[in-house]
Amino acid sequence: MPKKKKEPAKVLKYLESSGVKHDLLEHKTVYTAIDAAHTMKKKFDEVAKSLLVKADKDYYVVLLPADNNLDMDKLKKVVSKDQDKEIKVVKIPGEKLAREVLKIKKDAMTAFGSLYKLPVIMEKKLEKTKKAVFASSSFNHSVEMAAKDFIKLENVVLGTFGVKKKIKAAPKAKKKNVKKKVTKKKK
């Protein structure tokens, strides 16, 4: 019997206390949103890539579809508009600095910026997805929930800053890659 992977307790506690309907998806170890989409047999525009971005002195959790690259200039405009001031420099900090800012050791970052006390900025393309898959702070688990619920829960700023990139189709895989743990919404 395969060993059960450690679930992202902090994220699950946050979601359960919020009462938002969500599913915890267990999958093989993945390090990128593209790999997560391939593993779970999801469309790229249903899987959110999570990035930590620094705009001038402030940090943000930025989400875009797995098959999109970040257009820094467009993101700068979105942040400038939201902050009502001109942002001069937008960059992705190195991994060491990101771990310090997020206060994580070897875990993955999560899409839930409020767990880091950081604002979340999301590419508008993800808003059109009925259900989306978000990073959970685990390389073996993801959270699937209604995009509109995520937007409301995280008080997301929406903008257009993703640039679609060409991705090869996933190789045919066996069916047993994902386990779904259904969580009921609290009444």
pLDDT average, residue stretch 71-93: 95
CA dihedral 106, 111, 115, 120 (to 10 degrees): 130
Judged against a pLDDT cut of 60, whether residue 65 lies above it is answered with: yes
Reduced to 3 states (helix: H, G, I; strand: E, B; else coil), residue 108 is coil
Parse the chain into domains and list their residue ranges.
12-182
Distances in Å between the Cα of 71 and the Cα atoms of 4, 84, 93, 128, 187 are 38, 20, 15, 20, 41
pLDDT average, residue stretch 122-133: 95
Q: Which pTM was predicted?
A: 0.85
The alpha carbon of 148 is separated from its chain's Cα centroid by a whole number of angstroms, namely 14
- When comparing pLDDT for 87 and 96, which is higher? 87
pLDDT digits (tens, 9 = 90+) for 147-167: 999 999 999 999 999 998 876
Would you call 16 exposed, middle or buried from its count of C-beta atoms within 10 A (0-12, 13-18, 19+)? middle
Give the model's pLDDT for residue 118: 97
| Whole-number average pLDDT of the chain | 88
Q: Could you tell me the two tokens for 99?
A: 């771990």
- Cβ distance 154 to 37 under 8 Å? no
Provide the strand spans (E) within 36-140. 48-55, 58-65, 68-70, 90-91, 120-123, 131-135
Query: pLDDT class for 73, splitting at 50, 70, 90?
Result: very high
Hey, what CATH class is 12-182 in?
Answer: alpha beta
